[in-house]
């Protein structure tokens, strides 16, 4: 097992040598650096199959809202719920990466950490679906859709 382990296409640094730490930024440079880090996180999250499936679900929800004639407030709430789901998915991915880095062997605590992260994602995924179904079914039952 001399090959490096990979986690989501990212090789693990098994040399335990310190990596180069970028210098601290201040003022506007700090804000720009934070934006770059956030962009890097978004790019990394797009590499996750689960997140791409969640994006597809969001597109389906928006399409359902369009076809059912949902109000602007419904779109805003759905968008906020999706951002919460994306944040939970990002944190879950971060947990998995850190756990795999710290504990490459199987352990019950590593399993528990990953399971808890997955459960958080599931809760927000269910919240997104239940809210979308509530909006769409309410509008269909009221007859206020562009389909009628």
Active site members: 89
DSSP annotation string for 27-63: THHHHHHHHHHHHHHHHHHHT-HHHHHHHHHHHHHHH
Q: Which of 61, 68, 67 is nearest to 144 (CA)?
A: 68
Q: What's the CA gap between 128 and 65, in Å, rounded?
A: 13
Q: Which two tokens stand for residue 93?
A: 């991915």
80: which residues sit within 8 A by CB, 6+ positions away?
none
- Cβ-contact 27, 18 below 8 angstroms: no
């Amino acid at each position: 097992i001399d090959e490096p382990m990979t986690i989501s296409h990212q090789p693990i640094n098994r040399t335990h040598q310190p990596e180069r730490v970028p210098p601290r930024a201040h003022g506007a440079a700090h804000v720009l650096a934070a934006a770059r880090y956030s962009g890097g996180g978004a790019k990394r999250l797009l590499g996750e199959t689960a997140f791409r499936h969640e994006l597809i679900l969001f597109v389906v929800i928006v399409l359902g809202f369009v076809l059912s004639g949902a109000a602007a407030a419904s779109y805003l709430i759905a968008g906020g719920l999706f951002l919460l789901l994306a944040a939970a998915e990002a944190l879950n991915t971060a947990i998995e990466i850190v756990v795999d880095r710290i504990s490459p062997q199987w352990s019950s605590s590593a399993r528990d950490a990953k399971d808890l992260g997955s459960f958080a994602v599931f809760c927000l995924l269910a919240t997104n679906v239940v809210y979308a179904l509530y909006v769409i079914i309410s509008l269909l039952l009221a007859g206020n859709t562009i389909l009628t």
